[in-house]
């Protein structure tokens, strides 16, 4: 049978497992525990000899349905969902790495991931931050104890694009875990598996959920990394097929020890939201391109950062890798303009910190999400005091353009 399209597969995924009463949505199952008529079956579930549910921190049917959906979208082999994107990142790295290991990470990172990597450094895991737009900087940073390379697809807020393909080849040659945060692009614009990613992070809070009404995160194993050579896997998790060792350890140690489990109600919101992912993101990307193009021509704006503009340093790479150029762009206002006055003059565009919402949101980044980082690190990341980041939504473009005209007048 021909492979079905992204939307068809996504929309029909809940029905694949014959859900109860033929319902079209996987129901919300709030039960924390599961009863067994035969106590032996309960024991077998614990021992991994029988499929089944035992306790809500590690498994829940509503969450399982969402995990399967993400696995399909990313064309991976397994997914574990968490309560937030940060929970997915922290639980995964804490369960796979140990003191004395080393990570090479892009220096252009989501602020909280940057903060978490600081926590890892305090726990004895070395982290080297490099300019990942060139694979040679990653290569130069690799040490004997390097275990993992971490990059994002489109970095926030300056929109640098890592050399995803070359870094993937490098990780394959050096046998390193290649962890790609796909939040900004989502599996709709880009499949990290196509560049050799081992593990994929998605903050479900953003485009996949899309409605700003539920937090969630996921880690997907693409099946490309050979875990049989990875020394940090506990003996107990070496019983299954080697391709499942990594994700099993993330589930057993990450989810069980840290306990940042996704709740069933949130899983339902995220799954329902994900049904329209491709429609929403296409419209948001069209709007972002139109707004960024408008801003580039306006003298009151000093600089525009958007991969869809021909002037963007990685424009060509973005065109080769991604279906569209994403729905995030940032601007530096001309010197004399105050970013707060500019934002307050907007009408439809909301000053808010989230991204990937249906609504267009804007934030003065140096004063908010990158405030704690301090001026030096901000400067090294190219973040100016007048920078405003836009997460473009699905409103009519004329209404968004009218906001810019008014705010710049």
Tell me the CA distances in angstroms from 115 to 90, 103, 256, 364, one per residue in order.
11, 14, 23, 19
In the bound state with ligand PLP, the residue whose beta carbon lies nearer, of 248 and 391, is 391
Task: Number of residues interacting with ligand PLP: please give it, by CB under 6 A.
Answer: 17
**One residue of 125, 215, 292, 407 binding ligand PLP per CB under 6 A:** 215
Taking the complex as a whole, the smallest distance from the CB of residue 110 to ligand PLP amounts, in Å, to 4
DSSP of 283-341: HHHHHHHHHHHHHHT-TTEEEEE-TTSTTSTTHHHHHHH-SS--SEEEEEE-TT--HHH
In the complex, minimum distance from the CB of residue 86 to ligand PLP, in angstroms, rounded to a whole number: 4
Contacts 24+ apart (CB under 8 A), 382-385: 382/158, 383/157, 383/158, 384/332, 385/339
Which of these segments, 66-74, 80-88, 261-269, 311-319, binds ligand PLP (CB under 6 A)?
80-88
Residue among 183, 274, 278, 324 that touches ligand PLP (CB under 6 A) = 183
Q: Return the range that interacts with ligand PLP (CB under 6 A); candidates 37-45, 82-90, 256-264, 309-317.
A: 82-90
Q: Is 84 in the site for ligand PLP (CB under 6 A)?
A: yes
To ligand PLP, the closest distance from the beta carbon of 241 in angstroms equals 29
Selected range binding ligand PLP among 84-92, 128-136, 266-274, 391-399, rule: CB under 6 A: 84-92
Tell me the closest approach of the beta carbon of residue 216 to ligand PLP, in angstroms: 7
Q: Which of 61, 85, 196, 364 binds ligand PLP (CB under 6 A)?
A: 85
CA proximity to 90, closest of 201, 169, 215, 232: 201
Residue listed under structure tokens 């329209």: 276
If the CB atoms of residues 60 and 203 are measured against ligand PLP, the closer one turns out to be: 203
Tokens of 210: 């899309």
d(CA 218, CA 209): 12
- Asked if residue 97 lies in contact with residue 123, where contact means CB atoms within 8 angstroms, the answer is no
CA dihedral sign, ordered 188, 191, 192, 198: positive
Please tell me whether residue 224 binds ligand PLP under the rule CB under 6 A.
no
Q: Which residue has the tokens 């697809």?
A: 153
> Which of 152, 403 has the CB closer to ligand PLP?
152
Candidates 91-99, 119-127, 203-211, 258-266: pick the segment binding ligand PLP (CB under 6 A).
203-211
Provide, for the chain, the percentages of residues in helix, strand and coil under a 3-state DSSP scheme, each rounded to the nearest 5.
45, 15, 40
- Positions in 88-147 near ligand PLP (CB under 6 A): 110, 112-113
Cβ atoms of residues 185 and 202 within 8 Å: no
Q: How far is the CB of 256 from ligand PLP (least distance, A)?
A: 20
Question: Least distance in Å: CB of 24 to ligand PLP?
Answer: 27
289 phi and psi, to 5 degrees? -65, -45
Paired residues of 219 in beta bridges: 80, 201
- If the CB atoms of residues 97 and 154 are measured against ligand PLP, the closer one turns out to be 154
Closest CA to 184 of 160, 206, 217: 206
Verify binding: residue 357, ligand PLP, rule CB under 6 A.
Answer: no
| Residue ranges binding ligand PLP (CB under 6 A) | 84-86, 110, 112-113, 152, 156, 181, 183-184, 203, 205-206, 215, 217, 355
């Amino acid at each position: 049978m021909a492979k079905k399209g992204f939307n068809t597969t996504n929309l029909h995924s809940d029905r694949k497992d014959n859900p109860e009463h033929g319902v079209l949505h996987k129901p919300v199952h709030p039960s924390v525990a599961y009863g067994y008529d035969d106590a032996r079956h309960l024991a077998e579930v614990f021992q991994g000899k029988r499929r089944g549910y035992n306790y809500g921190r590690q498994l829940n049917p509503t969450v399982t349905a969402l995990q399967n959906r993400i696995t399909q979208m990313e064309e991976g082999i397994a997914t574990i969902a968490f309560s937030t994107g940060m929970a997915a990142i922290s639980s995964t790295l804490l369960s796979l790495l140990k003191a004395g290991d080393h990570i090479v990470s892009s220096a252009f990172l989501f602020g909280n991931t940057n903060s978490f990597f600081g926590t890892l450094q305090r726990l004895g895991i070395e982290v080297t931050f490099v300019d990942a737009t060139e694979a040679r900087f990653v290569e130069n940073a690799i040490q004997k104890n390097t275990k993992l390379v971490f990059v994002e697809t489109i970095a926030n807020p300056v929109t640098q694009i890592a050399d995803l393909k070359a870094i993937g080849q490098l990780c394959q040659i050096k046998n390193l875990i290649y962890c790609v945060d796909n939040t900004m692009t989502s599996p709709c614009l880009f499949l990290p598996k196509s560049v050799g990613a081992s593990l994929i992070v998605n903050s479900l809070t953003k485009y996949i959920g899309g409605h700003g009404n539920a937090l969630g995160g996921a880690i997907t194993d693409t099946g490309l990394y050979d875990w049989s050579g990875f020394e940090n896997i506990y003996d107990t998790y070496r019983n299954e097929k080697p391709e499942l060792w990594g994700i099993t350890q993330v589930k057993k140690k990450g989810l069980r020890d840290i306990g940042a489990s996704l709740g069933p109600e949130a899983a339902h919101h995220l799954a329902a939201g994900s049904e329209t992912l491709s429609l929403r993101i296409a419209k948001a990307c069209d709007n972002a391109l139109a707004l960024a193009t408008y801003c580039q021509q306006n003298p009151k704006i000093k600089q525009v950062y958007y991969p869809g503009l021909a002037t963007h340093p990685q424009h060509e790479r973005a065109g080769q890798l991604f279906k569209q150029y994403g729905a995030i762009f940032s601007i530096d206002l001309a010197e004399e303009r105050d970013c707060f006055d500019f934002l307050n003059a907007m009408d439809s565009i909301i000053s808010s910190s989230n991204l990937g919402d249906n609504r267009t949101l804007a934030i003065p980044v140096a004063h908010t999400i990158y405030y704690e980082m301090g001026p030096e690190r901000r400067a090294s990341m190219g973040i100016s005091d007048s920078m405003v980041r836009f997460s473009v939504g699905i409103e009519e473009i004329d209404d968004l353009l009218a906001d810019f005209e008014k705010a710049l007048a």
